[in-house]
Structure 1
Amino acid sequence: MYLNHYYYVNLTKLKLIYNTVKHLRFKQIYFRLFYAVRNKFFKRTYSKNLPTGVKSINWENKVLYSESYLGEERFNFLNIEHDFQSQINWNYNDYGKLWTYNLNYFDFLNQENFVREQGIALIEDYIKQDVELKDGKDPYPISLRTINWIKFLSQNKISNQKINQTLYNHFQILLHNLEFHILGNHLLENAFALFFGGIYFNDKKLSSTASKLLKQELNEQLLEDGAHFELSPMYHKILLHRLLDCIYLAHQNKKSVSSEFIVLLEAKAIKMLSWLQTVTFNNGSIPMVNDSAYKIALSSAQLFTYAKQLNLKWSVTELRDSGYRKFSNETLEVFMDVGKLAVDYQPGHAHADTFSFVYHSKNNSIIVDPAVSTYEINKIRERERSTGYHNTVTVHQQNSSQVWSGFRVAKRANVKLELDTPTKIIASHNGYKGCTHTRTFNLDNDILNIHDKIEPDENGEAHFHFHPDCSVQLIEDEKLIVNNIEMTFFDYNQLKIEDYHFANGFNTTIIAKKVVVLFTEKVRTEIKVIS
């Protein structure tokens, strides 16, 4: 009996791995193996002598980060504050890898009212521990840190040979460990950093690699409607911010960048701005779909202001290949996900949220995506990526796509878009074993009708998550009054009002209300603005 169970468990795990790995590109698999073998058997020192007298570049911070360094070796990242007392441990990992990464990004160098001398002292302390650094030597934190150091050094006209040499050495690590095994936003961040390094050090190798990667990855990663292909609005904003920084840097140092390349960067930024303008709600917020967390990226308004300072002009666009759609009029806004999970070979930031939606009425958030509060591989991460934690339908409490192990996806729901008009959308997916879920969104003035059908007949549960500020009242067992909207359900079996954890940022949640509608075969939900 035990042996049979052992084989069953291992066969299930093998299927899970196979259905995950089969979507990867050959390059990802090759470089994962190559880096593993090389780093185990061929240790190398990444250092290259830097000529004396690095010339300063033109830079002035247009956007400042929120405060994360609180003074006297105290930091606050991801809503967790830590006091190092007398000595900073740059490898400190008691709060998880993402907290350690944030410590090593050095965003605080470019926060408001940051003291020049304090920044130099922190960099010098970091350099003293350079040999002992662990997570800080990973390519992703190197990418963000090197940009932050260059901004800080250039803004403050600091020329320090020891700092510059360490910075240059870290660029050598990055250059030889580009994240081809991950691709996606990680590789794009590598390219942005090399672009900064190439201009700062007037280094042809860094510049040529950056140019090649940026052309390649911006073409690859930006969809036709302007969305970043990992389909997280938060990461879209982070990458747009970095792209605007590169455009500003190029304009300030035109001798180092060709006019043709600047035109390319600006064209890509305009596409990203148009998409962001389209998905941003009237109250300035974004739909927190897939891996999106509060208080991480700049606001849409900040990015639009920055772009205007760069004389970029854009307009709203038509949402298409991102798989997102939006209904809007004077009283309501509805953001819907009727597309594929994400790009096939990098769905690490995707959730099992097919056909989920977000609903705003008169600039107020009513039906929301619960967002994320952790990247740690645990039950909370599992829950926040699950189908039942989104505004869509579950069958037998399954996930519509097999999200697992924090950032993995095995089998994915395949979506068929059957009707796509400005006021009516019909789509179906096959994410549940043995049945098909079809959802219809139909907007008629101030009334949104949602029809859900499962074929062949199955029991389903429709989930609706409300913003923590919402008041939820059940009327006559079939109707909800939620702030200024009325929700009526037809052909259902049972209504349940439950608590859920709304993620108000990393490591912080608020108890809010959700409704679960139990039904067989079909259910209709009518959402109407009543005041």
Structure 2
Amino acid sequence: MNENIKLYVNTIKYLKPSQIYYRINNRVKRELYKKNILKIQAPRSLNVKRKNEYLIHSMDYDPAYLKRFDEKDIFNNEFNFININKKVDLSTAWYDPEIQQLWRYNLHYFEYLYKLAFEYEKSSDNDYYDKYKEMITNWIENNHFAYGDGWHPYTISLRLTNWLVTSEVFNDELERDSAFESLLNESAYVQYRFLLQNLEKDVLGNHYFENIKAIILGSIYFQENDVQEKFEKELLVQLKEQVLEDGMHFELSPMYHKIILEDLIKITYWLKDSDTYKKLTNYIQSMADTLYSFENNFGKTPAFNDSAKGISKDQECLLNTCELHFGIKPNQKYIFGKSGFYIFEDQNKKVIFDNGEICPSYLPAHGQCDALSYELSWNGSPFIVNSGTYKYENGPWRDYFRSTSTHNTVMINSHEQSQAWGSFRVAKRIHGLKRKQFLHNDISFFAGEYLNYLGEKHKRFIGNISGDLIIVLDFTKAEAESESYIHFKPETELDIYTSGVDISTKNKKASLQAFGTERIEKKQGWYSEQFNFKEENDHLVLTKSKQNNFFGYLINLNKTATDLKLSDGNILITNQEMSRSIRLEELEKLL
């Protein structure tokens, strides 16, 4: 069978039958809309509820968020999205194929309206309303019904939300400008109705959640109580599906976790008089606990699956809003049994260890080959990092940043953990996951196991020996060619000696001692903390000796000399303050 056909078959087999049905159904309907066989028209008169509290000042006007948009640039039709700055002709930019699609999507989202609204509220300068009106009018005139990115259900979901929320700020101007008010409301209604008939049930996950958010807001704005009631019920169904029992969003991406939390905060704020309010705040509490547990004193958005800085609101903004509007304060957690994340944290360091699946079985879009990888922050600053997410467009860079070797984990026999392919697909994937927490000879261990898509087993044990010492132990078959990768934040210096590495970063020094290895190499790679921005960084490649099942390394974040010896299947770690032993055969049997 052709290899591409195999990839498709092994991807499609994980989908729900309903996803396949809705993919075909939505595409057929889209063509019928284009041919004017299916139509959506706004009624002659629309009863709207604009004088309502849709805007959440603490979140929509968050200073860090508004810094993304410069009002002078907006007036000049110049925008910086995903680290690409462009001055555009709006009449063509909406659908310009020469512009990166994700950039075009951001233009369609209309998030920059919050900057105009904020400046208008501050100054009452009508120029901000005029620009608001100009941009919305331009979109309506140049995005013909059912054609192009502008009529993708996801862009509708974000744009519709942003149009309706910011219209509250410009209410007085809209009441004086009845022609534009009618144009705005009619277009918003047609988009709302189109979205209702073209929900992303073929994709599900965060896309479908965005659809639900926009539909609930639209139903409140256009006072369609039957639609609101129906989608409040669907919201609860999706929350049960998408928010795992431990509070993590089921796509296992810290970035998308924050995006969904923001959506949930908005929906709950709009539904404060609803019977579902209490249930929604319970989900907010759970998700806020997870966000705080991951990011407090970590110094970055953790890079597991597709995650990048500058897309979602930041931790401080989201948690402040939770407390301000719902009285919710987050709690620290260390074990996330459903999603598979474990956290070590003490005065000097914080480690997040990924023991989870690559993705929900039917939603592989944002999965990366990061099983049993970890990130380490030292004194609140990133130190050992996964490589991140550079772009979504299909191609070598997308493949690179999704690959096993760009994560702090192990590759066996040069085989990827899972078959990540295209922009958003995964065919055969890791399976047979196990995870466990235990104490072994006074060392607290988190451990995990999986089989890669070819059935090759990898076990990893991460032990928290003390505030400054961490041990990482990997188990694969003795005859397997196994490589362990350790990626460092840019500007970290690595000096390799016989059995270890001296590490220097920002006036701090650490060391790494390897064992069970045939060689240690330093290689140059790439780190991307934000979309479309990458930096060179160094990483280590530790090659396992074929005489051993176990290999690994000791990370020492202190200048205290520490000795590591491997003898007769035992590891002995000693310094002036302590002595610890690890019996490898016994350890392996504990998982």
Superposition TM-score, scaled by structure 1 size:
0.93
Tell me the residue number matched to 2:119: 113
The 2-side partners of 1:218 and 1:73 are apart by 38
Distance 1:433 1:52, change over 3 A: closer
Tell me the residue number matched to 1:374: 391
User: Which amino acid letter does the alignment assign opposite residue 151 of structure 1?
Assistant: V
Conserved in 2, the CA contact under 8 Å of 1:366 and 1:482?
no
Tell me the residue number matched to 1:122: 135
1:135 CA drift (Å): 0.4
User: Which amino acid letter does the alignment assign opposite residue 209 of structure 2?
Assistant: L
Conserved in 1, the CA contact under 8 Å of 2:499 and 2:515?
no
Superposed, 1:226-375 pairs within 5 Å as 226-251=247-272, 254=273, 258=274, 260-310=275-325, 311-317=327-333, 318-375=335-392
1:96 CA drift (Å): 2.1
User: Which amino acid letter does the alignment assign opposite residue 21 of structure 2?
Assistant: Y
Tell me the residue number matched to 1:511: 536
The 2-side partners of 1:501 and 1:494 are apart by 22
1:170 CA drift (Å): 0.3
Conserved in 2, the CA contact under 8 Å of 1:188 and 1:213?
no
How many residues get paired? 516
Tell me the residue number matched to 1:141: 155
Conserved in 2, the CA contact under 8 Å of 1:340 and 1:415?
no
Give CA-to-partner distance per residue, 1:319-344, whole Å, 9 cap, x none: 11011111111111110111211211
Give CA-to-partner distance per residue, 1:67-103, whole Å, 9 cap, x none: 3462211111111111125745321232322111111
Pick aligned residue for 1:94 from 94, 98, 123: 98
Q: Are 2:207 and 1:186 aligned?
A: yes
Tell me the residue number matched to 2:551: 523
User: Which amino acid letter does the alignment assign opposite residue 481 of structure 1?
Assistant: I
Q: Are 2:28 and 1:37 aligned?
A: yes
Distance 1:50 1:239, change over 3 A: farther
Conserved in 2, the CA contact under 8 Å of 1:93 and 1:99?
no
Tell me the residue number matched to 1:131: 144
The 2-side partners of 1:427 and 1:85 are apart by 52
Range with greater deviation from structure 2 (166-175 or 63-72): 63-72
Conserved in 2, the CA contact under 8 Å of 1:339 and 1:415?
no
The 1-side partners of 2:476 and 2:90 are apart by 61
User: Which amino acid letter does the alignment assign opposite residue 55 of structure 1?
Assistant: K
| Paired-residue identity, % | 28
Conserved in 1, the CA contact under 8 Å of 2:414 and 2:481?
no
The 1-side partners of 2:83 and 2:300 are apart by 20
Conserved in 2, the CA contact under 8 Å of 1:61 and 1:151?
no
Distance 1:53 1:440, change over 3 A: closer
The 2-side partners of 1:529 and 1:50 are apart by 69
1:415 CA drift (Å): 4.0
Tell me the residue number matched to 1:103: 107
User: Which amino acid letter does the alignment assign opposite residue 44 of structure 1?
Assistant: L
Tell me the residue number matched to 2:53: 58
User: Which amino acid letter does the alignment assign opposite residue 428 of structure 2?
Assistant: K
Q: Are 2:85 and 1:75 aligned?
A: no
Give CA-to-partner distance per residue, 1:370-399, whole Å, 9 cap, x none: 111100001000010000110001123221
C-alpha RMSD over aligned residues: 1.9
1:472 CA drift (Å): 2.3
User: Which amino acid letter does the alignment assign opposite residue 21 of structure 1?
Assistant: I
The 1-side partners of 2:432 and 2:322 are apart by 35
Conserved in 2, the CA contact under 8 Å of 1:93 and 1:100?
no
The 1-side partners of 2:344 and 2:533 are apart by 31
Pick aligned residue for 1:48 from 42, 62, 74: 42
Tell me the residue number matched to 1:4: none
Superposed, 1:218-233 pairs within 5 Å as 218-233=239-254
Consecutive unaligned residues of structure 2, counting only runs of 5 or more, are 121-127, 176-180, 560-591
The 2-side partners of 1:498 and 1:219 are apart by 44
The 2-side partners of 1:281 and 1:470 are apart by 23
Superposition TM-score, scaled by structure 2 size:
0.84
User: Which amino acid letter does the alignment assign opposite residue 123 of structure 1?
Assistant: I
Range with greater deviation from structure 2 (121-130 or 186-195): 121-130
Conserved in 2, the CA contact under 8 Å of 1:225 and 1:319?
yes
Pick aligned residue for 2:420 from 379, 392, 403: 403
Secondary structure of 1:107's counterpart equals: coil
Consecutive unaligned residues of structure 1, counting only runs of 5 or more, are 1-7
1:32 CA drift (Å): 1.2
The 2-side partners of 1:284 and 1:250 are apart by 33
Superposed, 1:202-217 pairs within 5 Å as 202-217=223-238
The 2-side partners of 1:113 and 1:497 are apart by 50
**In terms of Rg, which structure is larger?**
2
1:120 CA drift (Å): 1.6
User: Which amino acid letter does the alignment assign opposite residue 164 of structure 2?
Assistant: I
The 2-side partners of 1:18 and 1:148 are apart by 39
